Amino acid sequence: MASPLKPVLAALLLLTIAVPDCQAKSKPSLSGKQAIHHAIGRQAHDFDLPKSHKPKFQSAPWKQAHATFYEGGSGTFGGACNYKDVAGQGYGMNTAALSSVLFKNGQACGACFEIKCADNPQWCKPGQPSLIVTATDHCPPNPSLPNDNGGWCNVPREHFDVAKPVFSQLAEYKAGIIPIHYRRVPCKKQGGIRFTILGNPWFYQVIVWNVKGAGDIVSVQVKGDDKLKWTQMERDWGATWKTSAILLGESLTFRVRASDKRYSTSWHVTPRNWQFGQTYEGKNFN
């Protein structure tokens, strides 16, 4: 009679041959801290936004509007967008206050426009030169005046109230108000997006400026390198965004999305010991 141990021994022999072969073909396993680091890295990657393949911001078609001028200095032209010094921040004097229809409650801050005097040979400068201006302020409506006689920025008018030095390059001062053609154009900036951090340990404000491409921002998120996860900021006013999340003690990363739906992520643009009132440079749009 055959021994009952023979089938068991045969099976064990087959396992002995197969196991080393499987181990040789399989990837080496991670253990301890390596395995934890690998898992965390994979999880963080899963939360990254997909790469943006949207085309770069392009110039828009020409439209009709009107323009007037106002006086002031580099420290006042930032107005409702809360730019502190338009000359120091690279905008120069080529700035404009937009009527409510164009200003869009501050969303237009930072947008760039090409404007030129039109259809007024008496006042337009010869050759009708065009200029690029940046939206840095709001031209408020004046309901007490008619839209065609002093209420230039009333809804639904599309109107540009430009700095006086800009107006003089388009037309004669005496004109007071001129018809213009305008269009959105890509903003050209030097260096990266700037983030100026203001506030206090319980309330934080970030002014986002020097934005290339579309120029205007519709969303800002912030993330720390420790406890602070991705947090959506709210528009405070103009180009200033706010949050009550605790940012102190963290190296901050900002993700901004422009009106053309492209986004730019500036990783760890601040050190952990960043200070209020300081400006930090991040990654700009290509």
The answer to whether the bond into 156 is cis (omega within 30° of 0) is yes
**At 134, which amino acid appears?**
T
**At 35, which amino acid appears?**
A
In three state form, how does the secondary structure of 153-183 look?
CCCCCCEEEEEHHHHHHHECHHHCCEEEEEE
Rounded CA separation 262/52 (Å): 6
| Selection from 58, 62, 57 nearest residue 183 by Cα | 62
Q: Could you give the domains of the chain?
A: 63-184 (2.40.40.10), 193-282 (2.60.40.760)
User: Would you give per-residue pLDDT tens digits along the chain (286 residues)?
Assistant: 445 545 444 554 444 444 444 444 433 333 333 332 222 222 333 344 545 567 889 999 999 999 999 876 555 555 899 988 787 787 878 999 999 999 999 999 999 999 999 988 899 998 888 999 999 999 999 999 999 999 999 999 999 999 888 899 999 989 999 999 999 999 999 999 999 999 999 999 999 999 999 999 999 999 999 999 999 999 999 999 999 999 999 999 999 999 999 999 999 999 999 999 999 999 999 8
Binning the chain into helix, strand and coil, the percentages to the nearest 5 are: 20, 30, 50
The reported pTM is 0.79
Rounded CA separation 252/16 (Å): 54
What pLDDT, on the 0 to 100 scale, is given for residue 28? 37
What pLDDT, on the 0 to 100 scale, is given for residue 19? 42
User: What is the token pair recorded at 276?
Assistant: 């209020």
Q: Name the 3-class secondary structure at 125.
A: coil
Rounded CA separation 232/219 (Å): 8
Whether 210 and 237 have beta carbons less than 8 Å apart is answered as no
CA distances in angstroms from 284 to 21, 211, 214, 245, listed in the order given: 52, 6, 11, 25
User: Where do we find the tokens 């760890």?
Assistant: 268
How far apart, in Å, do the first and last CA atoms of the chain sit?
A: 84
CA neighbours closer than 13 Å in the CB half-sphere of residue 258: 27
What pLDDT, on the 0 to 100 scale, is given for residue 87? 78
- Contacts of residue 9, Cβ cutoff 8 Å, sequence gap at least 6: none
User: What is the token pair recorded at 129?
Assistant: 């030169």
Strand partners, 223: 253
